[in-house]
Structure 1
Amino acid sequence: MASPNVLEFTTDNWQSEVVGSNIPVLVDFWAPWCGPCRALSPTIDKVADQFAGKVKVGKVNVDENGDLAAQYGINTIPRLMVFKGSERPVQTINGTMNEAAMTQMLNGVL
């Protein structure tokens, strides 16, 4: 079951939710047909719950938001990016990562 702390980022809300956020934002670029993306989803949910109020966590469906995927050069998924009040990510991770590594990464940007 998806966490209520995981937001859906789209072209329409990208500026306000990600770029203009006053807290760090973890973005998961994914697609429903991507097996590794689905495998990463429970970890994203756990981290979103753990960092609620400190880090905004959300997903971008690359099939529905191709312009965002193109803007950030997303050619493989899953791809995680951390933003901190800018259009440029401060961290980029290609592929999956475990909960401990994701927690460590997010603690590093707080």
Structure 2
Amino acid sequence: MPWAFLIVAGLLEIGWASAMKQSAGFTRLLPTLLTFALMFASFGLLAAAMRSLPLGTAYAVWTGIGALGAFVVGLLWFGESAHPMRILAALLILAGIALMKWAPAG
């Protein structure tokens, strides 16, 4: 169950980062409220996952999911650059997430 909490927490991180972009520096009320609601839920699930998972693994995977997901959202919804070096960087983040998942915890 901790891995499920961690994955959902990472997905919520993508949501709050995207809402933060839409908040225009916290000047738009609804995206700002959504940012903080998703942030609270994401942190709560991360904390629940950390009850069982090592700190380094949980935090690295959480931020990796968020970073990779925010990158994809940026490409698909905000028209950000799909330069090959950016794609390679995203693939390296994905590889890091996979290695953290499969690495021995002890």
Give the TM-score taking structure 2 as reference length.
0.30
Give the TM-score taking structure 1 as reference length.
0.30
Bigger share in strand:
1
Q: Which has the larger radius of gyration?
A: 2
Bigger share in helix:
2
